[in-house]
Amino acid sequence: MSLREARVSLGAISRNVETIRAATTPAQTMVVVKANAYGHGAVPAARAALDGGADWLGVVDLDEAFELRDVGISAPLLAWLYGAEADYAEAIARDVEIGVHNLEQLERVAATSNRAKIHIKVDTGLGRNGASVDDCDELFAAAARFEKQGALRVTGLFSHLANIEDEAQVERFERLLAAARAAGLDPEFTHIAATGGALSLSNNFSLQRIGIGAYGLSPYDGPAGIELEPAMQLSGEIVSVKRVPAGSGVSYGHTYITQRETTLALVPIGYADGVPRAASNRGPVTINGQRFMVAGRVAMDQFVVDVGDAAVKTGERAVLFGDPATGVPSVQDWATAADTINYEIVARIGARVTRRYVP
């Protein structure tokens, strides 16, 4: 095992996709593998998701899309966020469906190839990417015109929720879908729900986008309401153990002072690897089945654990998080310690951390 290791269960990803598909109703499911599959590894996670029954894969940008195509993954694939120099020609040639959110982008895609397949993104209330409601009529009319000319085909219409159970956004999306159809478009794939919406909305349309749930984590502040398996376990090898007297300061600024003679264990994983500095003095770990807390500030490459009188040796491992059913801290425990969300904890795990894939 390496100094810093994220063990990823591909079987858990497959089973999570199966579980979510069984609990929801849309005809098809897209598993989102953006941001290196939320830190889990895009290519292995994509394959595991497909093994679990995913129909589509979703990414943010074209580089992420091309990474999947480069290894022979041929599943339907949507990308939806681009810069001004996006290579739509290569995307179209490699059968990547393109998310379009404004007229300028639509015109660029239409001028590139007559084989483009696009999903129009509309802003139903999130206030980020997507065509504004006031711009949709013009965008729909232009898309219908280009479609009649054979320049492209509108295969999808989609949006994204600001809040998991925002039925007002769903109703707005339904109105925009009706407007698109009135303009002459007939998108086969309509989608607004990510994991949380898929589990809670009354209308999930024809496609759902599953992100965090595929990796076994809840999209809610509490439990997901279905049985999911956290796919990642993060650990580091203990590289130093030393006995120190009471009154010893630990790490930068001495924000932790030992209250008695104790043992300090050093774990070589830090904020450069994605361990949040905000969890200093609060992040939990388990060593040999015993639970401890980070002592002092998390540094760039390491943190310290005060293990008291526990018999801890170099070469043993400190588990930061994994499946809490096995007795280790959860990703949510770390999110709470760092005042953030579980998405951020896994997505920020860095390149120095070795991913080890297990069934």
pLDDT tens for residues 167-215? 899 999 999 999 999 999 999 999 999 999 999 987 779 999 999 999 9
SS3 121: strand
pLDDT at residue number 275: 98
DSSP three-state, residue 115: coil
Annotated catalytic residue within 148, 252, 271, 357: 252
Q: What is the CATH number of domain 232-358?
A: 2.40.37.10
As a whole number of angstroms, the distance between CA 116 and CA 85 comes to 17
Q: What is the CATH number of domain 10-215?
A: 3.20.20.10
- Domain boundaries along the sequence of the chain: 10-215, 232-358
DSSP string, 45-95: HHHHHHHTT-SEEEESSHHHHHHHHHTT--S-EEE----TT--HHHHHHTT
34 is catalytic: yes
Tokens (6 digits) for 348? 């920020």
Query: Of 34, 121, 215, 256, which one is the catalytic site residue?
Result: 34
pLDDT of residue 127: 97
What's the pLDDT at 227? 96
| Residue in 325, 324, 351, 326 with CA at minimum distance from that of residue 336 | 324
CA quadruple 185, 190, 192, 194: dihedral positive or negative? negative
**188: amino acid identity, one letter:** E
Closest CA to 299 of 315, 276, 283: 276
Instruction: Determine the Cα–Cα distance for residues 240 and 319; give it in Å rounded to an integer.
Output: 16
CB 81 within 8 A of CB 98: no
DSSP assignments along 286-345, one per residue: EETTEEEEEES---SS-EEEEEET----TT-EEEEES-GGGTSPPHHHHHHHTTS-HHHH
Domains 10-215 and 232-358 fall in the same CATH topology: no
Say how far apart CA 13 and CA 121 lie, in whole Å.
Answer: 27
d(CA 291, CA 164): 33
Neighbours of 25 (CB within 10 A): 12
pLDDT at 26: 83
Q: Model confidence over 85-111: pLDDT tens digits?
A: 999 999 999 999 999 999 999 999 999
Q: What pTM value is reported for the model?
A: 0.96
Q: Which parts of the chain sit beneath pLDDT 70?
A: none
Contact 12, 216 (CB under 8 A): yes
Per-residue DSSP letter, 296:
S
User: Distance of alpha carbon 262 from its chain centroid, rounded?
Assistant: 39
**Active-site residue flag, 252:** yes
DSSP state of 177: H
10's CB contacts (< 8 A; 6+ apart) are 44, 45, 47, 48, 51, 231, 357, 358, 359
Query: CA 341, CA 331: separation in Å to the nearest integer?
Result: 9
